[in-house]
Homo-oligomer: A and B are copies of this chain.
Amino acid sequence: MPLYDLPVDQLRTYRPDVAEPEDFDEFWAGTLDDARRHPLGLQVLPVASGLRTVEVFDVTFAGFGGHPIKAWYTRPAGVAGDLPVVVQYQAYGGGRGLAHERTLWANAGYAYLFMEPRGQGSTWGNGGQTPDPVGNGPARPGSMTRGILDPREHYYRRLFTDGVRAVEAARALPGVDGSRVIVTGISQGGGVTLAVAGLVPDLVGVMADVPFLCHIRRGAEISPQDPYLEVAGYLAVQRNHVEQAFRTLSYIDAVNFARRANAPALVSVGLMDQICPPSTVYAAVNHYGSRSGGPRPDVDVVEYPFNDHEGGDAHQQARQLAWVAERFGA
């Protein structure tokens, strides 16, 4: 697929106005407070995965509303002592899959927690087990328009909260050095990563690949594909909801979280990405840390000039292996 978004020189400095509600910080502070009223309820069960160099644990913890969230915890086998931890969030429609799929960071010598998104997990890959016990208003299939008329009810309020709780769960895992946490994810996982980066103040690093959920209105206006198309499609039916919907979405726009982030970041972008248009990714990049209250954190951007949404894939993982090693002082 050809280039279709802004020219690359304009992309690199693209820093659009992105709507931010005045009560954004209270909203999220209150949301996290509510979630933390539920005990974390961490369960960590060893799993016979058939692997020998990696230990696997089936993890459950309480996310938003105290709802149980499933994750895999993997770590190098036979290593004593607390390890720094990488926390990853799954992409849209995927589940945690099977444990033997989640070994990269354990192979690299770290603790690793892979959280799956609630209520998804059955569109591709090898499946998930986490329900989303919250219903929805009249929505279009998919997650984007569940709760679109009220930020308190929006799906991503729950998922981002789960993401913060996953960091807390990771810190509570046996064998983890909770002072050293890096968060990461691809696409939706990259959006959650940026959200967590804006909500958790003491991360060591943030790695967001082709992140979704940045500058959502632009995404809905120029992306020809789901999931941004879910928003456009919803508004093509619910024609009177445009303003209300984008008001809701401003509470979960990853750009607004990115502004508040203070940890160094490694971000990748596909210049031919039709699912997460590069301008939406650069919107987050160029706002990153602007409201962190401190010095602007470093943001390394890796452009993949001929890639669609698959982005850098294992090439980006190779960069991340080095970047993480440097951050963790490994």
User: Do A123 and B141 touch (CB < 8 A)?
Assistant: yes
Is A54 an interface position by the 8 A CB rule? yes
On whether the beta carbons of A119 and B106 are closer than 8 Å, the reply is: no
Main SS of chain A's interface residues? loop
Q: Is the CB of B236 within 8 A of A306?
A: yes
Q: Is the pair B142, A138 in contact by a Cβ cutoff of 8 Å?
A: no
* Known contacts A2-B221, A138-B120, A314 near B108 by CB under 8 Å: no
Given known A2-B223, A122-B138, A239-B127, contact A100–B307 (CB-CB < 8 A):
no
Cα-based distance from A51 to B53 in the complex (angstroms): 11
Decide: A138 and B95 in contact? CB cutoff 8 A: yes
Number of copies of this chain in the oligomer?
6
Closest to A220 in B: B306
Decide if B119 touches A140 in the complex (CB within 8 Å): no
* Contacting residue for A50 out of B138, B315, B321, CB 8 A: B321
* Contacting pair A138 B121 (CB below 8 A): yes
Is A315 in contact with B126, judged by CB distance below 8 angstroms?
A: yes
| Contact in complex: A239, B122 (CB < 8 Å) | no
Interface 9-mer from A31-39, A129-137, A176-184, A292-300: A129-137
Known: A51-B108, A119-B135, A122-B145. A314 touches B103 (CB 8 A): no
- In the bound complex, do residue A236 and residue B107 qualify as a contact, i.e. CB atoms below 8 Å apart? no
Residues of B contacting A6 with CB < 8 Å? none
A101 CA / B130 CA spacing, docked (Å): 27
Q: With an 8 A cutoff between CB atoms, is A124 at the interface?
A: yes
Chain B residues with CB below 8 A from A235, complex form: 305-306
Among B124, B222, B310, contact of A3 (Cβ-Cβ < 8 Å): B222
| Pair B122/A127 contact, Cβ less than 8 Å | no
* A238 beta carbon closer than 8 Å to chain B: yes
- Residue in contact with A122 in the complex, picked from B76, B238, B304, B310, CB distance below 8 Å: B238
Please give me the 4 A-B residue pairs with the lowest Cβ-Cβ distance, nearest first: A50-B321, A141-B141, A121-B138, A133-B135
12 contacts between A and B (CB under 8 A): A52-B76, A97-B314, A100-B108, A119-B138, A120-B139, A122-B238, A125-B237, A126-B237, A126-B313, A129-B137, A236-B272, A236-B307
